[in-house]
Structure 1
Amino acid sequence: MKTGRCYTLSDAKTLYTTVTDRVLTLAHNAIQARGRFHLALAGGQTPQRLYECLAERADVDWARWEIWFGDERCVPPDHQDSNYLMARNKLLEHVPIPENQIHPIIKTSAFTPERAATEYADALTALLPSHAGWPLLDTVLLGVGPDGHTASLFPGTPILDIADTPVAAVQVPRLGAWRISLTLPVIRYARHLLFIVEGSGKNEILTRLIHGPRKKESLLPVERISNPHTEWYLDAAARGCA
């Protein structure tokens, strides 16, 4: 947590209200400047309340939003573990974003991880502006796991060293599963990164991130993201004594 800004909110409700307002501000600014807001959603448990808060807002130019995903589990889009299905249930089916502006990583039950990753990389490259040869997302929502992973960038996995494609498939031995994720260069070049961290279970990893490692070779995946436009939003329980 050596770059960007860090905000500690009193409780989870205030955390999600604050992040909702920040996302909507970034959306407004992007639409005013470029006519579109390209947002990559996070999966897992943490962002679900954020998506519910966003769905409650009517004062939004939803027609100009483009929805992407930071990572996906290798399951069909109607599977209970799908990040896309969670986002659809919590947000996308409740707001008038045109269907062709919602871009799931896995679209059908007939897929292979490598093919889905390649097709998603092609979509990002075709539909987004670019910077330094990389697709340029306006905002990427992220969380962090106790092991320092973010999106599906897990410690010790080869995706961490990929520098020739914006999206890759990776097998995560600890999970016994395949994942598909944005790669580090795309996350580093995004216009804004918003990390959302809730709950006392994140005390240990936040202490590590705040005080930092001493050796470059020991960097966790989340510590390898050097984007100056990073914002961390924590509730007091997550921050603890860190």
Structure 2
Amino acid sequence: MKSNGDCHVLPDAEQLYVTVTEHLLHLADAAIAARGRFHLALAGGNTPRRLYERLAALDSADWDRWEIWFGDERCVPPDHPDSNYRMARETLLEHVAIPPEQVHPIIPHARFEPEAAAADYADTMSAHLPLRAGWPILDVVLLGLGPDGHTASLFPGTGILDVQDTPVAAAYVPRLGAWRISLTLPALAHARQLIFVAEGAGKSEILTRLLRGPAAGESPLPAERVSNPHTEWYLDAAARGSA
């Protein structure tokens, strides 16, 4: 992580999520003061669940100024148990006063086609977000880390890693036998802030690999290919391990 952003190590998972929650609120307040809106892209998977529950328990926030986006999505209907949107809805969105029209699911209905859904989401981002050189600009993107070094749905060996002309793309992941839709590397590069969150001893091996960097003949992992000078890593001590 030394070569890919600042790293903050917290003693345990509870303090990790307290710290990330406080930091998100600070970034939200700053964005709202500067531009009147806070555009946040949520991460999927299991890691952010406790963060979303903590956000949902806040006494107050300028929820009417928050706009919610998604960093990636499984290609399932929005009420499916595997849907990132469903997890975010159940843990956060149902409990806070963000206007429904300011929540932007990647897959908003049961009928979809992955590549068309990706193109529609790219169009939605361009229509609602500030633009810089034609690229939509998110204030913060939350990111997790998979044991294979993937982040969002940018998996090793998939063609989406080479996409340079759109902020959102669909990718078939052979080892999962499934389609995913994800922000692309250029979309992450144009965000104002990236926040990686990793928890638990199960993440220590891949974090050690990320710190070491690619060995001779190895390709960079997807998380290593994320290039944004405004990147922060938040880890608990178990995830940090000996990395």
RMSD: 1.0
TM-score (norm 2): 0.98
1:177-234 C-alpha deviation (Å, 9 max, x unpaired)? 0000000000011100000000001111101111212458610111001111000000
1:110-145 C-alpha deviation (Å, 9 max, x unpaired)? 111011101100000111011232110000000110
2:230 equivalent in structure 1: 229
2:124 equivalent in structure 1: 123
Distance in 2, matches of 1:205 and 1:14, equals 22
Paired residue type of 1:208: R
Paired residue type of 2:225: R
Q: Would the alpha carbon gap of residues 176 and 23 (structure 1) be closer, same or farther in structure 2, given more than 3 Å must change? A: same
2:176 equivalent in structure 1: 175
Q: Would the alpha carbon gap of residues 90 and 216 (structure 1) be closer, same or farther in structure 2, given more than 3 Å must change? A: farther
Q: Is residue 80 of structure 1 aligned with residue 81 of structure 2?
A: yes
1:15 equivalent in structure 2: 16
Distance in 2, matches of 1:233 and 1:200, equals 14
Q: Percent identity?
A: 69
Runs of 4+ aligned structure 1 residues displaced above 4 Å come to 214-217
Q: Tell me how far 1:37 sits from its aligned partner.
A: 0.2
2:55 equivalent in structure 1: 54
Q: Tell me how far 1:76 sits from its aligned partner.
A: 0.3
Q: Secondary structure at the residue paired with 1:38? A: strand
Distance in 2, matches of 1:18 and 1:59, equals 17
Distance in 2, matches of 1:193 and 1:12, equals 19
Structure 2's unaligned 5+ residue stretches are none
Distance in 2, matches of 1:231 and 1:8, equals 11
Distance in 1, matches of 2:146 and 2:75, equals 19
1:26 equivalent in structure 2: 27
Structure 1's unaligned 5+ residue stretches are none
Size of the aligned set, in residue pairs, is 242
2:114 equivalent in structure 1: 113
Say which is worse superposed, 212-221 or 62-71, in terms of deviation: 212-221
Q: Is the contact made by 2:31 and 2:38 (CA closer than 8 Å) also made in structure 1?
A: yes
